[in-house]
Amino acid sequence: MATKKPSEQVWLKEYETFHSELLVMTKERYSILSIVVTAIGITLGFVTGAKSAWAIFLIPVIGLVIILPFAYLTYKISEHYHRITAYLEVFIEPNLGLKREYAWQIHRDEFRHLAFSRPLIRTYVILIFVSSFFPFVYYLAKISLENIQLSSTHFIYQ
């Protein structure tokens, strides 16, 4: 008994389903990034308002605890995204005569520095660096402000 090939309508419906799933994944990744940026901002806001100097030095630890799980989740979503695009390129598009994912592959090879997951991963790395160096920058800014205030009050009294 010979196996029946699916009709073009079946291939098209499968393509549309996977393509809509890819769009949802893209939105999820940027939503996760916005959650992380918000959480880091809130953390920096609370910690800089704290009276204890030790709270400032907890920022790198808090930053890593917040950023790393979300970065890993984004990485896993990206892997799934690439699997779906590979499936579309290899199995579905040849049956429909489409070359959309293949055209995307050519574009991605030409502009490799703008690949799908790299900008987001770079953003997570930048957030880690910001949270790591924030205590040092905050300390320097605080000392500078105190020196400016001291010199301005010393200038006023002379």
- Per-residue pLDDT tens digits for 18-67: 989 988 998 898 899 899 989 888 888 887 777 777 777 788 888 888 88
- Per-residue pLDDT tens digits for 137-154: 877 787 787 777 766 665
pLDDT > 50? residue 114? no
Classify residue 123 by burial, with Cβ atoms within 10 Å: 0-12, 13-18, 19+: middle
State the alpha helices, DSSP H only, in 49-117.
Answer: 53-57, 59-87, 93-96, 100-110
Tell me the whole-structure pTM to 2 decimals. Answer: 0.67
